[in-house]
Every structure is written in structure tokens, then in C-alpha cells.
Amino acid sequence: RYSSLTSLLNKLNNLTSLTIFCMRNYSSLISLPNELGNLTSLTFFD
């Protein structure tokens, strides 16, 4: 019983870290077009 509880906690921990990883990647995907937009506007003004 104790070992199954431990494995359950490990699975939850893995799921949490995976979710955090996906959220970080998602936010970087969102910020990428903004960075590209800033770069093109800088190039345009130069």
C-alpha cells in the first residue's frame, strides 16, 4: 500500500513538471512572434 502511494506521488510529480514544461514552451511560442515583430520594426526604422 505504501509503495503504491509513493508511485502515485511520483506520477503526479512527473505530470506537474511536464505541465510546467509545456506551459513554458507555450509562453515562449507566444512571445516569439512579438520578438519577430520588434525585430522587423527595428529594421524598418533603420
Q: Is the pTM of this model over 0.85?
A: no
CA–CA gap between residue 19 and residue 32 (Å, rounded): 20
**DSSP state at residue 46:** -
pLDDT band, very low/low/confident/very high, at 46 (cuts 50, 70, 90): low
State how many domains the chain has.
1
pLDDT tens digits, one per residue of 1-40: 778 889 999 999 999 998 888 788 888 788 888 888 887 8
The residue ranking higher by pLDDT, 18 or 44, is 18
pLDDT band, very low/low/confident/very high, at 45 (cuts 50, 70, 90): low
CB contact burial 20-35 (16+ within 10 A = b; e otherwise):
eeeeeeeeeeeeeeee
Task: Give the pLDDT score at 13.
Answer: 92
The closest alpha carbon to 14, from 22, 26, 2, belongs to 22
Please give the residue range of the domain that contains residue 23: 1-45
